[in-house]
Amino acid sequence: MTYLSKITTTQKPWLLLGLSALGLELTALYFQYILDLQPCIMCVYQRLAIISIAVAGMIGAIGYKHIFARLIGYCLWGTGAIWGTLIAIEHVEMQRNSGSMFFSCDIIPNFPTWAPLHEWLPFLFEATGDCGEISWQFLNYSMPQWMIVVYGLYSAAFVVVLLNRLIIARKP
């Protein structure tokens, strides 16, 4: 328990978090630009969640000795992991009900007006695909189904580390 609590006060776990998310982002770009799989709006939102986790890892790796940096890292990690899970689940539902009129995906991302990421970095955040289309599968799971697994692992790790941190901090 003490090991899990103190793991975020060292650099390597934060670096592993950031590099794993960066690896996933590079994989997404490989799928987009090498395999020509066009990202839909839900893919773009999941991409942003992964970037949030990568940034959390980098902030934690740089500022692991400072509680403020770790708090920012925790916030970005938790937000990215949980929000990504919810988006991936919604994306799977869209794929399951792609023939239904109740599920449709937007073409333009719903980013804040003060941060139109799809205009600033269109190569990364422009949505050109269809949310209901299943254009890739591995072991009979679509990409959003695999992302539920990925985000679930990130979320579980976040909860375990945070709870251990809070439990150890409360002990005298």
Residue 17 and residue 76 in contact, taking contact as beta carbons nearer than 8 Å: no
Structure tokens at 149: 């697994």
Cβ neighbours for 81, distance < 8 A, ≥ 6 positions apart:
49, 53, 151, 154, 155, 157, 158
Q: Which residues are catalytic?
A: 40, 43, 47, 105, 131
Distance (Å, whole) CA 36 – CA 152 = 27
Distance (Å, whole) CA 20 – CA 84 = 15
Distance (Å, whole) CA 129 – CA 139 = 22
User: What three-state secondary structure class fits 141?
Assistant: strand
